[in-house]
Amino acid sequence: VDYAEGVIKTEQGLFAEVRIWEAATGQEVLCLPVIRQGILCLCFGPDARLLASGGSEDGAIRVWNVVPPSGGQAVPLHSFSGCRTVVSLAFSPDGTKLAAADFEGDHVRVWDVETGRPCHTLPSPSHLTCVTFSPTGNRLAATGYEGTVRLWDAATGQDSLTLHGLTVARFGDYAFTGRVVFSSDGTRIISNGWDGTINVWDASPLPPRQGSASALKHFYSTLTVTLAVSELFDISVIVIF
pLDDT in tens, 202-225: 877 655 444 455 555 444 444 444
- The per-residue pLDDT for 222 is 47
* C-alpha to C-alpha distance for 21 and 112, rounded to whole angstroms: 28
* C-alpha to C-alpha distance for 200 and 188, rounded to whole angstroms: 7
Q: For residue 90, what pLDDT band results from cuts at 50, 70 and 90?
A: very high
Q: Which of 26-35, 113-122, 179-188 has the lowest mean pLDDT?
A: 26-35
Residue 23: pLDDT over 50: yes
Average pLDDT over every residue of 94-123? 92
**Average confidence score pLDDT of the chain:** 76
Of 229, 162, 171, nearest to 198 by C-alpha is: 229
* C-alpha to C-alpha distance for 37 and 62, rounded to whole angstroms: 10
Q: Phi and psi (nearest 5°) for 70?
A: 55, 30
Question: Does residue 223 or residue 18 have the better pLDDT?
Answer: 18
Residue 88: pLDDT over 60: yes
For the chain, count helices (H), then strands (E).
Answer: 0, 25
- The per-residue pLDDT for 169 is 57
- The per-residue pLDDT for 166 is 66
pTM of the entire predicted model: 0.79
159-163 vs 212-213, strand pairing mode: parallel
Question: Which parts of 124-232 are beta strand (E)?
Answer: 128-133, 139-144, 149-153, 159-163, 180-182, 188-192, 197-202, 212-213, 217-220, 227-228
- The per-residue pLDDT for 228 is 53
- The per-residue pLDDT for 209 is 46
Per the CB < 8 A criterion, the answer to whether 63 and 50 are in contact is yes
CA atoms within 13 Å, Cβ hemisphere of 140: 31
Question: Does residue 118 or residue 175 have the better pLDDT?
Answer: 118
